[in-house]
Amino acid sequence: MRSVYFAFAITFVITLTGCSSKSVEKPSEVAIEQESGDFNGELEGFADEFEVEEVYDPFSGYNRAMTTFNDKAYEYAIKPVAEGYKWVLHEDIRESVDNFFKNLYFPMRFVNNVLQGKMRNAAEESVRFVVNSTAGVLGLFDVAKKYCELEPHNEDFGQTLGFYGVGSGPHIVLPLLGPSNLRDLIGMYPDSYLSPLDYTERNYDTLTDTPAEYLGAKTLEKVNYVSLNIDWYDDIKRDAVDLYPYLRDMYEQYRDKQIKE
Amino acid sequence: MKSIFKKILAVLAPFILSYNLQADEQSELKSRFLNKIDEIIVIVENKNITKEQRNADIVKSISPMFDFELMAKLSLGSTWKELSASDAKRFVELYVERMKQSYSAKIDAYEGEKVEINKIQQPKSNRMAFFTDLVGKEEKLEIVYKFHKPSQSIQGKEDWLVYDVEILGVSILKTDRAQFKEFLRTKSIGELMDALAKQS
């Protein structure tokens, strides 16, 4: 029995010294020896990690053309407009506009959190909506985040579908909106019913009544957003040798992560 | 009774030991990483020097912690093995230069954000992943730094080296692999190298 205590004591001592100092040369040598076994040819060890899953892309011809169109539209229309807008309006105002739009999409986030069983997040979204719509003056100020440390939980119907195992389907680049896929495109339809920015006939009031008003509101939202992140697209773009597959893969990886969260 | 204790202990001891070894390695790398960030912030906030000088200083500071050479090789996937020695050398040079430029430019856009380490994972004894948040005024950006420990230390480099960075779930290496692969389907490695040369 004593020998057991002794062995335990030794382990304990080694454990402690292991925590506090670097004097454990021996074990680290052992660890390196173990490693070198699977390190023949440094690249082999990484093979499984970067197995690229091919994105399903039957519309690549159209997608490529639309990516070029969007890129030019950004460079020659959206960005210059956003720059002018940025010059006119102070950053605080633009941030408030951004907050206002984000606050409007509360029903979408709430419903999709509930559909994915994320009740805690749904509850936090509700508190955020109530606090920001009142104390935050119609959503202009994100006081819930600033003072209650409540972060938004972005969920849309595309993510909900992905959560229940629906695959992304073919990649589709949308005019002006950019990369998407069939799953996310389908998801936009139910989400639009949860958005107070819509022009279709509803049995409750929406903020916009005609397609023109809707388009105006959406344009403001987009231009305002771009004005807050003006260098963002160019920063991303500079590492592309071929813009379309680059953006496509980034989008799919990003969505996969959002779905997993 | 005695023997059971002994057996349990014999089984557990390696775990306890290795657990501690890992914790020790993790905390050491963590402090190195945080020191590096402090070092870089000092450079970035120094507005007395020119942008070019700042970028050069950033590159000098981050290079010992990044395995750009490995990234270059991994970015080509199976094509890497098919390159001639001279192409291989030139490709690595171009890729490394492009990475350095791209990184220093991104870091130089720094505006008072804070880096917080949320989680450290060690999936293998020679792999570690730092899950960090870049906390800005408005938004948080989740960035994962993936480190590996080469079996033999590389001259001028640290023990643990970054071989991939994931920003909001988008892996720089995966994205490069995909776009290079697609590029090489219709074009040659020479054209790819010309395209890379233009970027830096």
pLDDT tens digits for range A49-71: 777 677 888 999 999 999 999 99
Task: Count Cα atoms within 13 angstroms, Cβ side, for B74.
Answer: 25
Q: Do B21 and A246 touch (CB under 8 A)?
A: no
Q: Which among B44, B26, B41 has a CA at the least distance from the CA of B147?
A: B26
Q: Which burial class, exposed, middle or buried, applies to B63 when counting CB atoms under 10 A from its CB (0-12, 13-18, 19+)? A: middle
Please indicate, yes or no, if residue B9 is contained in any of the structural domains.
no
Residue B194 domain flag? yes
Based on the number of CB atoms within 10 Å of its own CB, is A7 exposed (0-12), middle (13-18) or buried (19 or more)? middle
> Phi-psi category of A180—alpha, beta or left, where left has phi over 0 and alpha has psi -120 to 50?
beta
| Six-digit token string for A251 | 């989008």
Burial group, residue A132, by CB count within 10 angstroms (0-12, 13-18, 19+)? buried
- Contact A170/A58 with Cβ under 8 angstroms? yes
pLDDT over 90 for what percent of chain A? 56
Report the Cα–Cα distance between both ends of chain A, in Å, rounded: 50
pLDDT of residue A175 exceeding 80: yes
Give me the phi and psi of A136, to 5 degrees please.
Answer: -90, 15
Q: Are the beta carbons of B151 and A36 closer than 8 angstroms? A: yes
Closest chain B residue to the Cα of A141, Cα to Cα: B138
Question: What residue of A is the nearest CA neighbor of B5?
Answer: A4
Highest mean pLDDT among A49-58, A73-82, B13-22: A73-82
Read off the pLDDT band of A73 (50, 70, 90): very high
Segments of chain A assigned E as strands: 171-174, 178-181
Domain residue spans in chain A? Answer: 59-260
Residue B108 scores a pLDDT above 50: yes
ipTM of the complex: 0.81
DSSP string covering A75-114: IIIIHHHHHHHHHHS-HHHHHHHHHHHHHHTHHHHHHHHH
Q: What mean pLDDT is predicted for residues B128-157?
A: 86
Q: pLDDT tens-digit profile of B160-169?
A: 999 999 999 9
- Provide, as residue numbers in chain A, all residues whose Cβ is less than 8 Å from the Cβ of B24: 18-19, 22, 24
pLDDT over threshold 60, residue A14: no
In angstroms, the CA A217 to CA A75 distance is 21
A 157-216 → B contacts, CB under 8 A: none
Model confidence pLDDT, tens digit, residues A111-143: 999 999 999 999 999 999 999 999 989 989 999
Testing the interface with B: which of A50, A254, A256 to mutate, by most B Cβ within 10 A?
Answer: A50
d(CA A259, CA A155): 9
Alpha-carbon distance A228 to A100, whole Å? 14
pLDDT at site A52: 63
pLDDT tens-digit series, residues B45-95? 888 888 888 888 888 888 899 998 899 999 988 888 888 999 999 999 999
Beta bridge partners of B144: B131, B166
Q: How many domains does chain B have?
A: 1
B180–chain A nearest CA distance, Å: 8
SS3 string of B13-73? Answer: HHHHHHHHHHHHHHHHHHHHHHHHHHHHHHHHHCCCCCHHHHHHHHHHHHHHHECHHHHHH
**Residue B172 belongs to a domain with what CATH number?**
3.10.450.710
The span from the CA of A54 to the CA of B178, in Å, is 8
Contacts of B96 (CB under 8 A, 6+ apart): B68, B69, B72
Other Cβ atoms less than 10 A from the Cβ of A82: the count is 21
Give a yes or no: residue B87 inside a domain.
yes
Query: Do B120 and B30 form a contact (C-beta atoms < 8 A)?
Result: yes
| A156 close to A112: Cβ distance less than 8 angstroms | yes
Q: What is the pLDDT of residue A41?
A: 62
DSSP label of A74: I
Distance CA A188, CA A49 (A): 32
Distance CA B62, CA B117 (A): 18
Across the interface, of A28, A240, A257, the residue whose CB is closest to B179 is A240
Minimal C-alpha gap between B49 and chain A (Å):
23
Give the per-residue pLDDT at A24: 35
Tell me the C-alpha distance between A39 and A17, whole Å. Answer: 29
In this structure, the number of other CB atoms found within 10 A of the CB of residue A249 comes to 26
Give the pLDDT score at A26.
37
In chain B, what percentage of residues exceed pLDDT 70? 98
pLDDT number for residue B1: 59
- Measuring CA to CA, how many Å separate B194 from each of A173, A244, B84, B95, B173? 28, 18, 16, 11, 19
Using one digit for the tens of pLDDT, what is the confidence trace for A179-202? 999 999 999 999 988 888 887 777
Q: List the one residue out of B160, B157, B171 whose CA is nearest residue B30.
A: B160
- The whole-angstrom distance between A220's CA and the closest CA on chain B is 20
Strand partners, B165: B145
How much is the average pLDDT of B186-200?
88
Element (H, E) at B160: none
